[in-house]
Amino acid sequence: MLRSRLSKVACAAQRAFSTSPKALAAKQMTVRDGLNSALDDELARDDRVFLLGEEVAQYDGAYKVSRGLWKKYGDKRIIDTPITEMGFAGIAVGAAMAGLRPICEFMTFNFSMQAIDHVINSAAKTFYMSAGAVNVPIVFRGPNGASAGVAAQHSQCFAAWYAHCPGLKVVSPYDTEDARGLLKSAIRDPDPVVVLENELMYGVAFPVDETVTDVDFLVPLGKAKIMRPGKDITIVAHSKAVETALLSAAELAKKGIEAEVINLRSIRPLDMQTIFTSVRKTHHLITVENGWPQHGVGAEICARFMEDPAFFELDAPVWRCCGVDVPMPYAKTLELNALPREPDVTAAALKVLGKK
């Protein structure tokens, strides 16, 4: 069900662009395969790159993101760790300080809390503390945010926590192109990068052309993408919430409202220029995220509008759609109501536009 809705969304997005021969020649690739191929490319390209984490090798990855890599690259490059996040994150950071390019996988970012001291104090701050002597070229990656039915301790979104810290870069891919291109850029970047994937997106296929499958395809860090152009209202989202935003844009289109949907791709740096430019056109803005509201991504975007001349382009206040401010429940109905869905986003858009 989810896939057919998504292919509808993908088609809706595509209809906005002309059907070139390239688009027609596009093949389907899941987000998982986008990540897998990114890892494969970068392992082949640079001997210093290696992957460590729980179940990444012989199990082929808890979510099969690293499928086939251990068979191809062996024990030296793909390393299974015991269930000791603080220890293996520290080992990964130490290896990065000493010149390697580790990719440290957290089975989910919930477990990164056990290792967060190494992400922040050992990785993010070291370049500055050493006055530019020691950079830490490490990638921390794994699924972030809500999955389905995994309850409170396994459903938290860490975008706001990591994006708070200078010295880190934080990206949050939505589709296959995002996942593949951002992960490749992250691995090649000389600073610590946190890659917040989404488990529910792993199995979703998107059309990709041969530029995307090219071995040097990169999506630049710090740049947002306009998924769907529009003139009436800007909807900004990241990760899975981009899908919700696109569904809402399709609903709004039925009412004659053309929404411009921006996929942030990066949380830090935050591409405010793309959002300001969009709002100069649409004069209305809402943000959509699955994370909690307080001190979240949407809150940051609101604050930035307050401090920029683009504030005067707004015809109405910015409004946020966020995950409900409660720990994630297990029961299905409760869980469904805990995250913003298309009707919530559409209602917010209509409210901001002053329409019913």
Instruction: Using alpha carbons, select from 246, 244, 236, 293 the residue that is nearest to residue 267.
Output: 236
List 269, 317, 327, 343, residue binding other proteins (CB under 8 A): 269
Whole-number minimum distance, CB 44 to other proteins, in Å? 17
CA–CA separation, 252 and 306 (whole Å): 27
By CB atoms closer than 10 A (0-12, 13-18, 19+), residue 7 is middle
CA–CA separation, 309 and 306 (whole Å): 8
Active site residue 283: no
Measured between alpha carbons, how far apart are the two ends of the chain, in Å?
29
CA–CA separation, 156 and 241 (whole Å): 14
**Please, which of residues 284-323 interact with other proteins by CB under 8 A?**
304, 307-308
| Tokens at 343, concatenated | 């009707």
**Please, which of residues 163-202 interact with other proteins by CB under 8 A?**
166-167, 169, 189-191
The yes or no reply on residue 113 touching other proteins (CB under 8 A) is no
Spell out where the chain has E strands.
27-30, 49-53, 78-80, 101-105, 139-143, 169-171, 193-197, 205-208, 225-228, 233-237, 259-263, 266-268, 285-288, 319-321
Which residue, 168 or 179, has its beta carbon nearer to other proteins?
Answer: 168
Residue 153 Cα to chain centre, angstroms: 20
The yes or no reply on residue 74 touching other proteins (CB under 8 A) is no
Which residue, 266 or 287, has its beta carbon nearer to other proteins?
Answer: 266
The answer to whether 278 touches 237, Cβ cutoff 8 Å, is no
List 20, 58, 130, 211, residue binding other proteins (CB under 8 A): 130
Question: Among the options 42, 54, 85, 335, which is catalytic?
Answer: 85
| Tokens at 320, concatenated | 């946020």
Active site residue 164: no
Whole-number minimum distance, CB 45 to other proteins, in Å? 16
Q: CB under 8 A: which stretch of 94-102, 198-206, 231-239, 252-260 binds other proteins?
A: 94-102
List 118, 141, 228, 265, residue binding other proteins (CB under 8 A): 118
The yes or no reply on residue 93 touching other proteins (CB under 8 A) is yes
Question: Among the options 154, 164, 251, 258, which is catalytic?
Answer: 154
List 20, 28, 84, 153, residue binding other proteins (CB under 8 A): 84
Catalytic sites, residue numbers: 85, 154
Residues near other proteins (CB under 8 A) are 50, 76, 79, 81-82, 84, 86-100, 117-118, 121-122, 126-137, 166-167, 169, 189-191, 220-222, 269, 273, 304, 307-308
